[in-house]
Amino acid sequence: MHILQDIALDAFESRKAELKGDGKAGRWFTPLELHVLPKLGRMPVSEIDQRDIRDTLAPIWHTKADTARKAMNRLAICLRHAAALGLDVDLQATDKAKALLGKQRHTAQHIPAMKWQDVPAFYRNLGGSVTELALKLLILTAVRSYPLRHIHEDQIDGDIWTIPSAHMKGRVGATSDLRVPLSTEAQAVIEEARKFSRDGFLFPGTIKGVISDMTMSNYMKRMGLEARPHGFRSSFRDWCAEATDTPREIAETALGHVSGGSVERAYRRTDYLDQRRDIARVWSEFVIRRQSS
């Protein structure tokens, strides 16, 4: 008897090589572990049909739409894995279940972002603690939280910070290193952060490792702000669009986004480093200028 629990674990093991950190962050397997396997894990995979799937995911189909979608997609992968093992499964079960569940009513909620006009005033009030220095560098570089929290001395060479592909969002093999130009202000923040560094990490946690994903968010909550750290990427992007004449492909590259179709990307090898260095300088000057106003 081949139960779904065993099939799911085997499917996960076969895909670890294409997941960041071998899937240790739990993002691939967690939707199954939390929302599918508690109800269907002990069932023979060949007996699972669309009604079982519908009944399992109905409680979160509309209220936790993104999680439900991921759980459904992972379950479809498990069923294909079972078929590849030679088991008799209904490969259309997940599609049928979607038809039974209907269109999701959930509206995606964007992470709250600070208006770019308000960023300098916020920056002005940041102090010199590890959390506040991390927020400063996050604002100045417009990178994601994960590579920012894991910034290491080995990644910095002069005015360039190279984020390794393993720290970039995306599948293994589908992402590359990202060179981030550092403005004079960003370099000054890094220099100040070096006073707190541990094992080469500029933003160490209180006891071990690096600061947690919630550290900066909690700081902003305590300040009574609705905006969250990830939203500064949106602040930067809006500033590029509304206050500068930055071409779209350069602004998107600055955020580490993939821009253009596959053929276009195959021929375009530049990362616009010189142009992004200029943007980083102007953005930094904007953020700092209001400090003395």
pLDDT at residue 21, rounded to an integer: 63
pLDDT at residue 110, rounded to an integer: 74
- Say yes or no: 166 and 206 in one domain: yes
CB atoms within 10 A of CB 82: 24
pLDDT at residue 107, rounded to an integer: 65
Cβ proximity of 271 and 253 under 8 Å: yes
- Say yes or no: 44 and 129 in one domain: no
pLDDT at residue 35, rounded to an integer: 96
Per-residue pLDDT of the chain (293 residues; tens, 9 = 90+): 699 999 999 999 988 877 766 566 568 899 999 999 999 999 999 999 999 999 999 999 998 898 999 999 999 999 999 999 999 999 999 999 999 999 988 666 677 899 999 999 999 999 999 999 999 999 999 999 999 999 999 999 999 999 998 886 656 555 678 899 999 999 999 999 999 999 999 999 988 899 998 999 999 999 999 999 999 999 999 999 999 999 998 999 998 876 555 545 544 567 889 999 999 999 999 999 844 43
Q: Which of residues 101, 131, 152 is at a domain's end?
A: 101
- Say yes or no: 65 and 206 in one domain: no
Q: Which of residues 78, 101, 124 is at a domain's end?
A: 101
Cβ proximity of 138 and 283 under 8 Å: no
Give how many domains the chain has, as a whole number.
2
Residue 277's contacts (CB-CB under 8 Å, 6 or more residues apart) are 159, 181
Q: In what order do the strands lie in the sheet with 156-157?
A: 156-157, 160-163, 178-181
pLDDT at residue 207, rounded to an integer: 86
Residue 177's contacts (CB-CB under 8 Å, 6 or more residues apart) are 162, 163, 164, 165, 168
Could you tell me if residue 131 is inside a domain?
A: yes
Which CB contacts under 8 angstroms, 24+ apart, belong to 22-30? 28/74, 29/74
Query: CATH number for the domain including 34?
Result: 1.10.150
Rounded to an integer, what distance in angstroms lies between the CA atom of residue 89 and that of residue 47? Answer: 7
Residue 154: both structure tokens together = 């080995």
Rounded to an integer, what distance in angstroms lies between the CA atom of residue 95 and that of residue 44? Answer: 19
Could you tell me if residue 278 is inside a domain?
A: yes
- Say yes or no: 93 and 234 in one domain: no
- Say yes or no: 93 and 124 in one domain: no
| Beta bridge partners of residue 156, listed in sequence order | 161
- Say yes or no: 65 and 200 in one domain: no
Could you tell me if residue 267 is inside a domain?
A: yes
Residue with tokens 């996050």: 138
Rounded to an integer, what distance in angstroms lies between the CA atom of residue 218 and that of residue 138? Answer: 15
pLDDT at residue 292, rounded to an integer: 40
Q: Which of residues 52, 78, 101 is at a domain's end?
A: 101
Query: CATH number for the domain including 235?
Result: 1.10.443.10
Q: What is the pTM of this model?
A: 0.72
Q: Measured on CA atoms in the order 177, 183, 186, 188, is the torsion positive or negative?
A: positive
Could you tell me if residue 109 is inside a domain?
A: no
- Say yes or no: 82 and 187 in one domain: no
Could you tell me if residue 108 is inside a domain?
A: no
pLDDT at residue 18, rounded to an integer: 75
Segments forming the whole domain that contains residue 90: 4-101
